Every structure is written in structure tokens, then in C-alpha cells.
């Protein structure tokens, strides 16, 4: 069974170099490895020093690469649904080009890329699938989309399909709006099922590892802390952190002040991410370009460690029965309690952290219960349901 390793971090931290170097080293170790870029601003071709493109390309023995095209992904997975929406917008007076552009609904581009991951995982052609993702914010939208889609499908889709079946024969002679055929709904159902399966893959620590990449500076560290919190909110298994571009002693007197500041950041990283495997790598004198340089770079990152193994993850949510009440324990390591909000709505526990919101589908035993107390201690939100 294949494993998936996803690298994410702030733009400019060296995420693509780290992903590609890891893939190159794993391929050299005899593991059939596919590295894919889901970043709209692809740079995988640049670090591999060859043109990759939207189709899977064999780069070297055991090493394959792809820069996913969003348009190709959407047409491949949702051609029927997009065709209906394009026709709908054209019927309302939009020109064909604008209609096709608007028919790509928000979030569909991210989700299309995830379906490629599912397809490659199920093909059993690869031992490892490495993802060079977009910068942090876009990666979080990518990873949160399957759950958001689940909520909309379960709440709105049954009503929409029933209404269309009843209304379609009556409305056709009266209105010029094309109503969806059953095949469109079936396409949407397949999409929904596939996204649920993708989420199951990506939240299973036996299958997936998510690794954070940062630089030892305040802005990068703060964004990494937020990313870790949000990934835990959505239940994704983070197992390692790579700290890149550390100034070594050979950078001379001019960078002494920077080295001192970085030393403070590194100490904070060690204490803040004590539950993760932390890798440190010094700033390279030259960018690692090409397979030989990338493999040398990967050896500097991982040392004697096997980069393909799972380094251990913290559970994001746990349930505990205490008398007649239940305790829901959610790890949110760097959340600010003043920006936390939670409530129960129709058997769904809703938790909001900053601009991110997750709906938890509670176990049946808790579905009728309401949050009666909550406390946030040492990065863990403990919710009493009674």
C-alpha cells in the first residue's frame, strides 16, 4: 500500500526543494516515488532541471513527477457537471468564454487535484506519493474542501435532487433555465464519495504524513504555528517539521547578528514543537538543482533517518466518558482562546478558530448532548457534553 507525504509551508521557505530532494533520495533507496506539484506557481521543473508538465513523467529510475494542471484536472473529473453549469450560465446571456470560466466553482480546482492523489494511490503503481503543495493558506483550503463539501452535500443535495425530479417536467415548457438531468446529480454524487474517500486517506496516519517547512524567523514561525493549529483542527496527521535556511558558522561576521536571532528562534521551535520530529538544515551556498544536488541536500536534511517512515503524530481529537457526561478533547496547540468559538447545532459540534471553521459529526452517543462547559489548557480544548 502506498503512503502519501505532503509538504506545506509559507511561500519562499524552500518547500519545493525539500519535497523534490526527499523524492529523489527515496527513489535512490529503491522506492517507486511520484512527486506532484499542486502549487499553481509550479517550480518543480526548476529544481529538477527538466520540463515536467501536466502529465506524469519518468525522471529517473523509480522517480516520477507531475505538475498538475487545474484545467485538465477539472475537465478530467467533472466534465459533465461543468458542462451543465456552462450551459446554465449561457442560457442566462453570458458569452461562452465567461460562462465556462464561472462554471469552475470556488474550491473545485483544489478538489480536482486531490482526486488525482486518490487515483494514484489506488493504482498501486507507486510506493510513495509526495506532494509539493501551495503556500500555507491555499493548502489549508485544499485540505478543508472535502469536509466542507460533505456538509453541503448532506444538507442541500437530497433536497436539490428531489426538487429537480418533481419540478423538471413542469418547468421545462415554462422557463428557459436548463434543469439538471439525473446524470449531473450522479456526477455530483461520485464527486462527493470520492472526496470523502480522499479525506479518509489524508487523515489516516497509517497512510499520510503532513510535514511543515519553515525558516527560523518570526513571520515564518508564526505562520507555521497557525498552520499546525488548523491542521489539528481538521484532524490531519502532522509528523515532522523541517527548519530550512539556517545560517551556519561559515557565514562569517557579517551574519553574526542573524545567527544569534536564528538561535533564539531555533530554541523556541524546539520547545514549541516538542511533539514533532524536527529536522534542521543549513542554508546552501548554491540552490540544489538537479538530481545529484537534490539527493545531497536530502542527506543533509535527514542524516541517518529514513525520510519515508512515519515519525509519530499527536491525536487531534479524543472522546472520554465521565459519569453521565462525555469529554471531547481537541488538540489546538497554538490557538488563542479569545478567538475560539464553539456550539452544538443539530447534533454537530461546530468549532471556529480564527477564520477556520470545522463541523464535527459527533458519535451517536453524543449527538443529542450539548456543550455545557469548556476549558482551554495547554493547547487542548476540553469540552464537556451533557
SS3 for 91-103, per residue?
Answer: HCCCCHHHHHHHC
In a 13 Å sphere around the CA of 196, the CA atoms on its Cβ side amount to: 11
Q: pLDDT per residue over 330-368, tens digit each?
A: 999 999 888 888 887 766 778 889 888 888 777 777 777
Spans of all domains in the chain: 1-309, 317-385
Q: pLDDT per residue over 170-226, tens digit each?
A: 444 434 545 556 666 666 677 777 778 888 888 999 999 999 999 999 999 999 999
The β-bridge partners of 385 are 326, 371
Distance of CA 96 to the CA centre of its chain: 33
More confident residue, 141 or 280: 280
CA distance 358 to 349: 8
The β-bridge partners of 214 are 243
Domains 1-309 and 317-385 share a fold: no
Q: What is the mean pLDDT of residues 156-172?
A: 45
For domain 1-309, give the CATH superfamily: P-loop containing nucleotide triphosphate hydrolases (3.40.50.300)
For the ranges 36-40, 235-239, 281-285, the lowest mean pLDDT is seen at 36-40
Q: Which burial class, exposed, middle or buried, applies to 284 when counting CB atoms under 10 A from its CB (0-12, 13-18, 19+)? A: middle
Res. 108 pLDDT band, cuts 50 70 90 = low
pTM of the entire predicted model: 0.84
CA distance 359 to 371: 14
**Which stretches within the chain are classed as H helix?**
15-28, 44-48, 70-91, 96-102, 108-123, 136-171, 182-202, 218-233, 256-272, 291-302
> What is residue 88's predicted lDDT score, i.e. its pLDDT?
47
CATH class of 317-385: mainly beta
Contacts of 228 (CB under 8 A, 6+ apart): 212, 238, 273, 333, 334
The β-bridge partners of 212 are 8, 241
Amino acid at each position: 500500500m502506498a503512503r502519501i507525504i505532503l509538504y506545506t509551508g509559507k511561500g519562499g521557505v524552500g518547500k519545493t526543494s525539500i519535497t523534490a530532494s526527499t523524492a529523489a533520495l527515496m527513489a535512490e533507496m529503491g522506492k517507486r516515488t511520484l512527486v506532484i506539484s499542486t502549487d499553481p506557481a509550479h517550480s518543480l521543473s526548476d529544481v529538477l532541471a527538466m520540463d515536467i508538465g501536466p502529465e506524469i513523467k519518468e525522471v529517473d529510475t523509480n522517480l516520477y513527477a507531475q505538475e498538475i494542471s487545474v484545467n485538465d484536472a477539472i475537465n478530467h473529473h467533472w466534465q459533465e457537471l461543468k458542462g451543465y453549469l456552462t450551459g446554465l450560465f449561457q442560457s442566462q446571456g453570458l458569452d461562452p468564454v465567461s460562462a465556462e470560466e464561472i462554471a469552475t466553482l470556488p474550491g473545485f480546482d483544489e478538489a480536482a487535484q486531490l482526486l488525482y492523489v486518490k487515483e494514484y494511490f489506488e493504482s498501486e503503481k507507486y510506493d510513495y506519493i509526495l506532494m509539493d503543495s501551495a503556500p500555507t493558506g491555499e493548502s489549508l483550503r485544499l485540505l478543508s474542501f472535502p469536509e466542507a463539501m460533505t456538509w453541503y452535500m448532506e444538507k442541500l443535495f437530497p433536497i436539490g435532487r428531489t426538487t429537480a425530479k418533481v419540478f423538471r417536467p413542469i418547468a421545462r415548457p415554462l422557463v428557459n433555465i436548463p434543469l439538471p438531468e439525473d446524470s449531473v446529480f450522479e456526477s455530483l454524487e461520485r464527486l462527493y464519495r470520492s472526496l470523502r474517500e480522499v479525506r479518509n486517506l489524508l487523515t489516516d496516519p497509517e497512510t499520510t504524513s503532513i510535514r511543515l517547512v519553515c525558516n527560523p524567523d518570526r513571520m515564518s514561525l508564526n505562520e507555521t504555528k497557525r498552520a499546525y493549529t488548523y491542521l489539528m483542527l481538521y484532524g490531519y496527521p502532522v509528523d515532522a517539521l523541517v527548519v530550512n535556511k539556517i545560517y551556519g558558522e561559515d557565514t562569517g561576521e557579517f551574519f553574526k547578528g542573524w545567527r544569534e536571532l536564528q538561535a533564539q528562534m531555533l530554541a523556541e521551535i524546539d520547545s514549541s514543537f516538542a511533539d514533532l520530529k524536527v529536522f534542521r538544515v543549513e542554508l546552501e551556498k548554491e540552490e540544489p538543482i538537479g538530481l545529484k544536488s537534490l539527493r545531497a541536500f536530502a542527506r543533509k536534511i535527514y542524516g541517518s533517518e529514513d525520510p519515508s517512515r512515519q515519525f509519530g503524530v499527536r491525536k487531534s481529537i479524543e472522546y472520554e466518558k465521565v459519569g453521565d457526561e462525555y469529554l471531547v478533547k481537541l488538540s489546538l496547540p497554538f490557538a488563542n482562546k479569545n478567538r475560539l468559538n464553539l456550539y452544538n447545532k443539530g447534533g454537530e459540534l461546530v468549532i471556529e478558530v480564527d477564520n477556520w471553521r470545522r463541523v464535527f459529526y459527533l458519535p451517536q452517543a453524543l449527538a443529542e448532548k450539548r456543550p455545557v462547559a469548556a476549558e482551554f489548557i495547554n493547547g487542548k480544548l476540553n469540552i464537556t457534553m451533557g
